[in-house]
Structure formats: C-alpha cells, structure tokens
Structure 1
Amino acid sequence: MGSIDEERLLLEQGRTQNESSQLYTGDGSVDINGKPVLKQNTGNWRACPFILGTECCERLAYYGIATNLVSYLTNKLHEGNVSAARNVTTWQGTCYLTPLIGAILADAYWGRYWTIAAFSTIYFIGMCTLTLSASIPALKPAECVGSACPSATLAQYAVFFFGLYLIALGTGGIKPCVSSFGADQFDDTDPKERVKKGSFFNWFYFSINIGALISSSFLVWIQDNAGWGLGFGIPALFMGAAIASFFSGTPLYRFQRPGGSPVTRMCQVLVASIHKWNLEVPIDSSLLYETQDKNSAIEGSRKIEHSDELK
C-alpha cells in the first residue's frame, strides 16, 4: 500500500508541475513587478500592437527629420551645401553609434522596457526642442532678403543642435531594444509561440516601412509647403503617441531580467576558450552547458542551443 501511495503522490506532483508549466512561461519572463507571468494574460499578440505602434511612430518621427534635414539647414539656417551635408551625415552616424549605449544599459542594468521608456522621453524632449527652434522667430535666423541671408547665431545653432542630438541619443535606446522586447513576448519553450515570433518580425519591419513611407512623402510635403514648425511638430506628436502606446501596454508585457554586462561575458568567453584550448569535447552535448539546470546561470539569459556551424 505504501508504494502505491508513493506512486500516486508522484503522479499528482508530475501532473501539477505539467499544469503549472502550461499556465506560466518557461523562458524565465516576469511581469512589471518581477513575478512569473501567466501565458493566457500576457505577451503574445495581445502585447505586440503596442510595441509595433511604438516602432511605427518612432520611425515616422526619425525619417520625418532625417529625410529633409539638408533642405532645412540650407534654406532656413542658411548653411552651405557642404556644411549641411556634413552636419547631417555626422548626426546620422551618431544615431547609429548611440545604440551601443542603449544595448549595454538594457542588457546589463535597466532591462529593455525601462531603457525604451527613458530614451523615448529623451527623444520626445529633443523633438519638442527641434519644433520650438523652427517655430519661434527668436530661435531661427531671419528670412533671406534678395541675396542677403543672415547666418544663424551661436545661440540659435545651440538650440537646434541640442534638440537634434537629443534625438540621436534617444534613438540609441529605442533602436536596439524594441525588436528584442517584442521577441520577449513569445515564449521560446512553447512551440506554438516560437512560430508566432517569426510573424512578429514580419509585422515589425512592415511597421518601419509604413512610418518611413508616410514621413518621406506626406511630411516632406508639409515641410516644404506648410512650414517647418508644423513639419517638425507632427513628428513630435507622433513621438508622443509612441510613448503613450508603449506605456499603455505595460500590464500585458513580459519582461526579461537584465543579465549583466555583455562585455564582461564576452571577455569570459575569450578567457575560457584560451584556457580550455586543448580540452577534449564530450560526445554528449548536454554536458557542454555551464549548468545542468533548466535555465542559464546568468540571470536574464537563456541557455543557447548547440550548433556545429562554427567548428
């Protein structure tokens, strides 16, 4: 009788664990309060519209500035073509360097959600500053009279470029985090959700292209025909909408905990690979993990599947 009771108890425990695994995500994701999340109530496609809306509005705002920026510098700030092109390429280069800052902060300290939230706010402040610099007469040079075009003052340049580089800093926290935060909404341990993740990336790039299309056509026409104050103000409004969209989805999001500095982990890999250069690799690939537990030893990270592609 005792052995039968023990078997029954083990079966009940196994059934309970199986039901729990079906209720909760298996990839270590948590809610905004750090508690395990229920699959039924969070993540998946119910959370993605807010993330896709954020990306679409942010890309619309970015391309609404970048597409026609040379025209603004030459026609309104009265710069030469060479100087204007140099300023634009320097700014765009900065926009593609700042994601290194956002990625490290997200992975090591803040997590993707708070990184997006903080840098989106910086982005919005930059957009508002840029709009004010194009709208308030004291913050922009006077219009050309004949061939006489007054140059922008140092203060006018300072306000304009302050707003412009706040945008460059803001995009550095959004660009590397939004796509991966969207991917976090799908549980890798669930085969059904893993398939849906691929569909998410299709919609993600579709959202980028929709934002770029609207800004490169409609907003450029607004800037050239209705004024730059309105032409910069509309992207600022869309950036505000992006922030509102992002925060409104907070109860539905799944969060991955930050796992420490990726630079430190890269250095650890290099040191370990040199130290174990002549180590004989076991035939059983399950022995190659850093831990036998289900999850990685690094908080916020996942155990990577083995591959023979880099032999």
Structure 2
Amino acid sequence: MAITVAGEATTTAAEPPPSNDVVPGYVDFKGRPSIRSKSGFWKSAFFIAGFEMAERFCYYGISSNLVNYLTGELGQSTAAAAANLNAWYGTAALSPIVGALVADTLLGRFRTIVFSSLLYILGLGFLTLSSLLNSMGSTSCNNDGNDSNTLCYPSQIQTIFFFFSMYLVAFAQGGHKPSLQAFGADQFDVEDDGENAAKSSFFNWWFWFSCLGIVLALSVVNYIEENLSWVVGFGIPSVVMLVSLILFCTGSLVYRFSTESMRRKGRHPFVRKFRVFLKQRETSGLESLDTALLPPSEPDNVEGAKEAKAMLRLVPIWCTSLGYSVVYAQPSTLFTKQAVTMDRRIGPSFEIPAASLMLCISLSIMLFVSIYDRVFVPIARSITKKASGITVFQRIGVGLVLSLLSIAIAAVVEARRLRTAREHGLADQPDAVIPMSVWWLAPQYTLSGISDVFGMVGLQEFFYDQVPSELKSTGLALYLSILGVGSLASSLLVSVIQKATSGDGGAGWFSDNLNRAHLDYFYWLLAGISALSLVGYVYSAKYYVYSGRAAH
C-alpha cells in the first residue's frame, strides 16, 4: 500500500479524492498523497540545495588544489599531473551516467542519494587516511648528494591507495549529483503554472548554492592545505559530508516523491526504447521511429517511439557543446599552474594560494546569478514576453560565446607572462616569481564564471526538460557527461601535444618549466575548437524542436 521513505513510489490502494491542495503524481515519505501547502516547492528545494552546497564544498575542497598535491607531495611532472587530473575529472563527470541509470531504473532518486553519499564519505575518509600515511613516511627518495636536498615521495602502494580513494569519490559523486538535482527539480509541479515558472529560477539558485560551497572550500580548505596540513584539509570535507547527509535525511518530512518512475511497473524505460530501436533498424532517419513496428498490443508503442526520437535529437546539442567543456576543464589545472608562477602577494606578508583564484569564478557566478534572475530576466521578459526572458538555446549560445572569449583572453595574458619572464631573465628559473600580478588572470577566471551562468545552467535546464519524465536523472547525467568528455579530451590533447612538441630535446608546450612552455599556443587551439563548436551548435539549435512545456 505505502512506500518507504526512498520508495519513489508505489500508489496507495485507495487514494483520497483529488483537491487543489493535492499534488498529482507525488506522495510524501509515508506514501500518502503529497499536500501542496505542506511539501515541496521552495521549502524543500532550498533544503536539498543546502546539501548540494555541502557536497560542492567537499568536492572542491579536495579537487581544486590537487594539481599542487600531485606535483608536490606525489612528485609528478606538470604534464603528468594535468593528464591525471583531467582523467579524474572526466571520470567524475562521466560516472553520473551510471548513477543516473541506477536512480531512474533501480533504486529511485532518494535511495541513490543516500547510498552514494555513504560511499562518498568512505572515499573521503580513505583520502584523509592516504594523506596521513603519506605524511608519516615514504620509501622512495632521491638524493642529489646533499642531505638537505633529499626529495622523498610516497611509495607506489601509497600512491595507488591515494588514487583509489580519489576514484571512489569520483564514482560516489556520480550517483549523488544527478539524483540530487533531479530530486530538487521534482519538488516543483510542472502542471502548476506558478511552480513551473519557479523551476527555471530553481536552476539559477541551485547553481548559486553550488558556488557558495565552492567559495567556502576555496577560501578555507585550500588555505589549510597549503599552510597547515593536507591531512586536516582532506579531513574537514569528510566531516562536513557526514553531517550534511544527516541533515538531508531529516528533511524527508517535506519532500515530494515522484510516482512517475513506477507508473509503468514492469516496463523498464530503457528496454522499451531499445526495442523501438531494434524494430526500426531496417529503416533510416528519425521519422521512422514514429512508425516503429512494435506489436500493436503494446501500450507503449507510440509513446516509446516518440521518447526514443526525443533522446536522439539531444545528440547534436551534446556534441556541439564539447568545445565549451574542454575550455571548462582548464581553470582548475593549467590556470592554477600559471598562478603559481606569478606575484600572489596581498600586502607585505600575505600570499594567496594559487588555487584560490578559482574564487573569481565562483564569486562572479554568485553575483551574476543574482543579477540574471532578478534584473536580466524581468527586463528580457518585458521585451520577449517569454517566462524565462530568453530561450534555453539563446542562453546556452551566449555561454558558448563567453567561454570562447575567456580562453582567448587567457592566451593573450599567458603570452604577456612569458614575455615578462624573458624580459627579466627568468625564463630558465622555473621557481622564480615573475614580476607580474596574479590579478592579470582575474578577467579569464571571471569571464569563465559568467559563461557558466549562461552555458552550464542552460544545459542543465535543457537536458532536464527534454528527456522523458522517468529519466530526469539520466538527462542531468547527459549534461554532466559533456563536462566529463571535455575533461578526457583535454587530457588527451595535453598528452598528444606534449609528446609531439617535446621531441628532439624540446621543452614542449607543457614543460615543467612554465616559463619555457607555450600554454598560450594551447589556449589559442582551444579557442579555435570552441569557435567550430559554436558554429555547429547554432546550426543544431536552429533545427531543434522543443518538446513539452520547455518551449519557452
């Protein structure tokens, strides 16, 4: 009759008569019809967004400074560290596909959030233990003949344990992130005009809360890691994640649990779509899906064909957003390495951590989300008469343009940094501080953040709205997979380019001595890739047909 807290949900044997205060298609944590005035909407959405803020604090608390941990504590080269990090970032962004499938087809979103959070806490605990073991002793040391210059790094087993811990976190957040965001969006009833209009704002403020967690991580945890202890810096996220999970579970009283995922009991959504594809394999084109030859007795024939067709139409948008995602991978890796070489002093004695420059991205996002939601959208709405001010495609397109501009600015600034190093005779001194303020990097960080307000939030809303109703977590996972493939593509580009440019004794574009490297060339290459992606995106968006109520 009733469901458990995470059940997402079976229907009750006898439901009360419908009323204006009952939310159709939703139940509470005891399986009773959800009451609009007592559940969902902003009261539960902000509660869930708070958990997202805590998760982003934990994720960025360990990830934003990893490039320095790898090149310092683990003794890896810049190229190796960048490749390892991009591979890890890519895995972290691709793993939500698996997590979303589990949420949409097996466990339900609430259970997936809880189980993945427990795995997350375990990974963070292992990571803290790994850094503790590394700080207690190492077995691999290089001595240049001077005892004071002995360099010791963790043993191979310790390094393997460290990466095991990191990938455990990557896979755990894969189940956590799409399920939590979809669960948050589920708190808004799309059949109610007021709640449906508020859902677009939800994606804006969701991003705002995410960035607040990032700001706290970059300003607190990074400072602790660089100036106090890596063990403490990794341990704090472990505690925060545990406490936030407990608080999230206490909010179950006001959550709405969707019954949609169980509407076709026994008919797996992916099995239905796969059978549609099999039946139309002898024909060609998207239109053939409308007449896929499933047995006429199947009630899901027409609906399954339409849903499969809708999923296929997402592919061009997904592909043409990859240029944006490759640029998105750079601030936490190569931008950070640039900052290490520059003058980071504030006042006579304080030096900001290089990774804290990521604050420029988060702060610009937090500021511009507020401006976008409270100023830009009302003005645009008065002009376009659209509820969201501009269409989702227009929003994404602006994000792609700004992303291209940010990487072009990065190329110009890097060329100036290299020129400054040569002019002051520092080209062959990789550890020297170049007399160029780190705030030269602020424009590329800031513009990158503003591009995310348009591009990233737009992609979130697009992939949530345009997938079938029982696959909302999967839709958000598809959006995250764009970032994952972009990170992996960036890693591949770094490896291939470094191998190609470091032959015959050359330093290569990604030399450990950044003063002899050519990150500016790499940034111009990414700008070219972004431009091509933008052209493809405009063409794809022009011929895309919105589905459902998303055509705003």
Partner of 1:239: 241
Give, in whole Å, the separation in 1 of the partners of 2:205 and 2:550.
Answer: 31
Partner of 1:220: 222
Q: 1:158 aligns with which of 160, 163, 185?
A: 160
Partner of 1:21: 19
Following superposition, the deviation at residue 100 of structure 1 comes to 0.5
Partner of 2:148: 146
Following superposition, the deviation at residue 148 of structure 1 comes to 2.2
Following superposition, the deviation at residue 199 of structure 1 comes to 2.4
Following superposition, the deviation at residue 249 of structure 1 comes to 0.8
Partner of 1:266: 273
Work out which structure has the larger RCO, using CA pairs closer than 8 Å and 6 or more positions apart in sequence: 1
Give, in whole Å, the separation in 1 of the partners of 2:292 and 2:135.
Answer: 70
Once structures 1 and 2 are overlaid, which stretch shifts more, 109-118 or 253-262?
253-262
Partner of 2:99: 102
Change (3 A) 1:110 1:156: same
Q: 2:188 aligns with which of 180, 186, 189?
A: 186
Change (3 A) 1:229 1:197: same
For 2:161, give the aligned amino acid.
Answer: V
Change (3 A) 1:38 1:231: same
For 2:288, give the aligned amino acid.
Answer: I
Once structures 1 and 2 are overlaid, which stretch shifts more, 53-62 or 69-78?
69-78
Following superposition, the deviation at residue 40 of structure 1 comes to 2.0
Partner of 2:354: none
Following superposition, the deviation at residue 242 of structure 1 comes to 2.5
For 2:189, give the aligned amino acid.
Answer: D
For 1:233, give the aligned amino acid.
Answer: G
- Tell me the secondary structure at the aligned position of residue 150 of structure 2: coil
Q: Which runs of 5+ in 1 are unaligned?
A: 1-15, 280-287, 291-297
| Identical pairs, percent | 35
For 2:107, give the aligned amino acid.
Answer: W
Following superposition, the deviation at residue 301 of structure 1 comes to 7.5
Contact 1:106 1:115 in 2 (8 A): yes
For 1:205, give the aligned amino acid.
Answer: F
Partner of 2:380: none
Partner of 1:51: 48
Once structures 1 and 2 are overlaid, which stretch shifts more, 234-243 or 92-101?
234-243
Q: 2:38 aligns with which of 30, 36, 41?
A: 41
Partner of 2:204: 202
Per-residue CA deviation, residues 29-64 of structure 1 (Å, 9 max, x unaligned), is 122333321222211122123211110011111111
- Tell me the secondary structure at the aligned position of residue 146 of structure 1: helix
Normalized against structure 2, the TM-score is what? 0.45
Partner of 1:252: 254
* Structure with higher strand content: 2
Following superposition, the deviation at residue 113 of structure 1 comes to 0.8
For 1:219, give the aligned amino acid.
Answer: V
Change (3 A) 1:307 1:205: closer
For 1:172, give the aligned amino acid.
Answer: G
Q: Which runs of 5+ in 2 are unaligned?
A: 1-15, 142-146, 281-286, 294-301, 305-467, 473-545
Change (3 A) 1:220 1:143: farther
Change (3 A) 1:306 1:122: closer
Give, in whole Å, the separation in 1 of the partners of 2:203 and 2:289.
Answer: 39
Partner of 2:61: 64
Give, in whole Å, the separation in 2 of the partners of 1:178 and 1:276.
Answer: 33
Contact 1:141 1:152 in 2 (8 A): yes
Following superposition, the deviation at residue 116 of structure 1 comes to 0.9
For 2:207, give the aligned amino acid.
Answer: Y
Per-residue CA deviation, residues 191-233 of structure 1 (Å, 9 max, x unaligned), is 2222222222221010111112222232211110011011111
Change (3 A) 1:221 1:138: closer
For 2:273, give the aligned amino acid.
Answer: M
Per-residue CA deviation, residues 67-111 of structure 1 (Å, 9 max, x unaligned), is 110111221122232322222111111101100101101111111
Give, in whole Å, the separation in 1 of the partners of 2:168 and 2:223.
Answer: 25
Query: For this pair of structures, how many residues does the alignment match?
Result: 275
